[in-house]
């Protein structure tokens, strides 16, 4: 069967059609949650880059004002801002949704084209979607999804049979380096491919080809250099020190916490399923798959945020492993009912994506109560009044009211904030009636807090006679010191 014919048959396949339907349906259902704090942060930075070039100093917040920063993800920020300028916020949500769906479906298609069964590919996609669903937020990482999915796919194919096209990973890595900090995985994947080539040679009693090892070494070095091919050059090291090497991230940012069933049950179940599959299929598994998925699994256990790279890599690499482990069990046959479902469902899914996503996004982003609260806070924040804003809401305020730039206490850019401030903020959220919290809050005239995330602080301020609530929406309350 030719590859072209295979792709044509894949498009018509009812099982693969079901995969497309499930992926689209989940993303559409998540539309109201696709735009959160990080989205507004990225848009504010994109506007800043468009106005004045790459960012070297923080000017957005009071606490971090003037701190040196390296905005590695400047190209993602600028791209997201550009899409909003051209197509509005709903248009950006649609483009981001299509990128996510396109990445998942394309990686699944490659897995099938390489020999995995469609039903097992669908099963892996379902588990992967469950594992990464909590991180379906439009931000710089979203732009990096294709790189996270296809770098492992390309390198796994190269370990099987070296290809000249693998060198295209070098310019792709340069682009990745200006899109998201996860580009650090590019040379890691290349190094694992080199190691896997040696392991496979030993396992199959073949001689290790020195020429290929030299080629792998050059590719790994090239991808390492690509990490620094940004407007910041060698200063990019500082970015990774401030993020990956920053202990404050793991202490204060929930997605950097170790994997926990209490916090992220779906991602934990997904990682457990991958772990079982690795153990069951280790003997038959290709070395690169075992090394790369094993490493990403370990990283996810240490920090839940790596569930997304693990899920994207798993979609392309694990269906064939699942075929070997399950044998003839748990297979979906394309019967008449499934064909009927796919024939109707795929066009419906396309309409849901192209019409439903922009509509849901417009409805969510233009809630009258939310817009009214944002305007109330901006009016109350007259010069001289210090403003403590919930970290998820700060950048939304900055996006709609640029006059507040430099005046909100902090936003999601933790690396610019003093540790003493983070400690005081943490004490305030955990024990708002305590002495430290009272002293901390005393320095602010306005406090905006998300009731869902910081319920204790909200209740405390509601009962504190020194504060009056002057505005609220469905989730957020704004208080003013009397």
For 307-355, write each residue's pLDDT tens digit: 899 999 999 999 988 888 877 666 666 667 778 888 888 899 999 999 9
Is the predicted pLDDT of residue 32 greater than 90, yes or no?
no
Calculated CA dihedral for residues 106, 111, 117, 120, nearest 10 degrees: -80
Q: What percent of the chain has pLDDT over 90?
A: 47
Please give the structure tokens belonging to residue 428: 């305030």
At residue 166, the pLDDT reads: 94
At residue 78, the pLDDT reads: 96
At residue 144, the pLDDT reads: 94
Compute CA distances 334 → 118, 123, 169, 228, 340, whole Å.
10, 15, 37, 48, 10
At residue 67, the pLDDT reads: 87
More confident residue, 430 or 74: 74
Mean pLDDT (whole number) for 431-456: 90
Compute CA distances 468 → 374, 416, 454, 455, 464, whole Å.
17, 31, 17, 16, 8
Is the predicted pLDDT of residue 406 greater than 70, yes or no?
yes
Mean pLDDT (whole number) for 87-115: 93
More confident residue, 241 or 345: 345
Query: Whole-angstrom Cα distance, residue 139 to residue 34?
Result: 9
User: Which phi and psi (to 5°) does residue 68 adopt?
Assistant: -70, 135
Q: Give the mean pLDDT of the chain.
A: 88
Is the predicted pLDDT of residue 415 greater than 60, yes or no?
yes
Mean pLDDT (whole number) for 410-422: 84
At residue 4, the pLDDT reads: 47
Mean pLDDT (whole number) for 389-417: 87
Query: Whole-angstrom Cα distance, residue 247 to residue 252?
Result: 9
Domain boundaries, the chain: 3-336, 368-481
Q: Which region holds residue 408: left if phi is over 0, alpha if psi is between -120 and 50, else beta? A: beta
Mean pLDDT (whole number) for 287-316: 92
At residue 9, the pLDDT reads: 72
Mean pLDDT (whole number) for 383-396: 86
Is the predicted pLDDT of residue 81 greater than 60, yes or no?
yes
Mean pLDDT (whole number) for 107-124: 90
In the block, tokens 């305020």 appear at 397
Residue-wise pLDDT for 133-172, tens only, equals 877 888 888 999 999 999 999 999 999 889 999 999 999 9
Is the predicted pLDDT of residue 392 greater than 80, yes or no?
no
At residue 254, the pLDDT reads: 65
Mean pLDDT (whole number) for 1-7: 50
Q: What percent of the chain has pLDDT over 70?
A: 93
Angle CA 32–35–38, to nearest 5: 150
**pTM, to two decimals:** 0.89
At residue 399, the pLDDT reads: 93
Of 404, 453, 466, whose CA–CA distance to 425 is shortest? 453
Three-state SS for 412? coil
At residue 335, the pLDDT reads: 67
Three-state SS for 11? helix
Query: Whole-angstrom Cα distance, residue 140 to residue 85?
Result: 17
At residue 266, the pLDDT reads: 84
Of 450, 359, 347, 368, whose CA–CA distance to 31 is shortest? 359
Compute CA distances 460 → 183, 377, 444, whole Å.
43, 20, 15
Mean pLDDT (whole number) for 256-271: 80
Please give the structure tokens belonging to residue 349: 């899914």
Where does the pLDDT of residue 419 fall: very low under 50, low under 70, confident under 90, or very high at 90 and above?
A: confident
Where does the pLDDT of residue 79 fall: very low under 50, low under 70, confident under 90, or very high at 90 and above?
A: very high
Distance in angstroms between the alpha carbons of the first and the last residue of the chain: 76
Is the predicted pLDDT of residue 5 greater than 50, yes or no?
no
More confident residue, 404 or 416: 404
Calculated CA dihedral for residues 415, 418, 424, 428, nearest 10 degrees: -30
At residue 250, the pLDDT reads: 62
At residue 200, the pLDDT reads: 87
Please give the structure tokens belonging to residue 102: 């396109």
Q: Which of 12-21, 148-157, 225-234 has the lowest mean pLDDT?
A: 12-21
Where does the pLDDT of residue 1 fall: very low under 50, low under 70, confident under 90, or very high at 90 and above?
A: very low
Q: In terms of DSSP H, where are the helices of 406-451?
A: 419-430, 435-441
Please give the structure tokens belonging to residue 169: 């990973």
């Amino acid at each position: 069967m030719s590859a072209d014919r295979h792709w044509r048959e894949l498009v018509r396949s009812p099982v693969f059609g079901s995969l497309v339907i499930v992926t689209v349906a989940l993303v559409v259902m998540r539309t109201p949650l696709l735009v959160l704090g990080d989205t507004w942060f990225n848009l504010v930075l994109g506007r800043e880059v468009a106005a004045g070039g790459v960012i070297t100093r923080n000017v957005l917040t009071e606490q971090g004002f003037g701190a040196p920063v390296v905005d590695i993800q400047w190209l993602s920020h600028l791209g997201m801002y550009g899409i909003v300028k051209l197509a509005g916020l709903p248009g950006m949500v649609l483009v981001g949704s299509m990128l996510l769906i396109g990445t998942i479906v394309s990686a699944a298609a490659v897995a099938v084209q390489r020999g995995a069964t469609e039903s097992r590919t669908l099963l892996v996609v379902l588990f992967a979607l469950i594992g990464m669903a909590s991180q379906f937020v439009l931000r710089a990482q979203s732009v990096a999804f294709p790189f996270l999915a296809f770098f492992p796919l390309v390198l796994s194919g190269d370990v099987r049979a070296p290809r000249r096209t693998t060198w295209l990973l070098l310019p792709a890595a340069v682009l990745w380096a200006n899109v998201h900090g996860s580009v650090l995985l590019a040379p890691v994947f290349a190094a694992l491919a080199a190691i896997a080539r040696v392991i496979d040679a030993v396992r199959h009693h073949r001689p290790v080809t020195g020429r290929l090892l030299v080629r792998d070494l050059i590719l790994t070095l090239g991808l390492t250099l690509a990490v620094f091919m940004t407007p910041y050059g060698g200063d990019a090291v500082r970015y990774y020190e401030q993020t990956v090497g920053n202990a404050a991230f793991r202490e204060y940012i929930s997605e950097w916490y170790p994997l926990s069933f209490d916090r992220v049950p779906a991602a934990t179940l997904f990682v457990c399923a991958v772990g079982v599959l690795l153990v069951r299929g280790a003997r038959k598994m290709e070395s690169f798959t075992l090394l790369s998925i094993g490493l990403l699994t370990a990283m996810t256990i240490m920090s839940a945020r790596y569930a997304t790279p693990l899920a994207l890599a798993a979609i392309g690499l694990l269906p064939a492993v699942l075929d070997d482990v399950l044998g003839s069990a748990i297979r979906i046959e394309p019967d008449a009912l499934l064909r009927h479902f796919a024939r109707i469902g795929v066009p419906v899914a396309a309409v849901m994506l192209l019409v439903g996503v922009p509509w849901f996004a417009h409805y969510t982003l233009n809630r009258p109560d939310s817009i009214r609260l944002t305007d109330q806070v901006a009016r109350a924040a007259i010069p001289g009044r210090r403003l403590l804003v919930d970290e998820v809401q700060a950048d939304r305020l900055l996006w709609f009211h640029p006059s507040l730039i430099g005046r909100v206490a902090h936003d999601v850019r933790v690396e610019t904030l003093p540790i003493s401030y983070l400690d005081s903020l943490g004490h305030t959220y955990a024990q708002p009636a305590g002495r430290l919290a009272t002293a901390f809050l005393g320095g602010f005239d306005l406090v905006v807090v998300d009731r869902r995330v910081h319920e204790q602080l909200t209740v405390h301020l509601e009962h504190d006679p020194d504060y009056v609530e002057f505005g609220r929406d469905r989730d957020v309350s704004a208080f003013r010191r009397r």
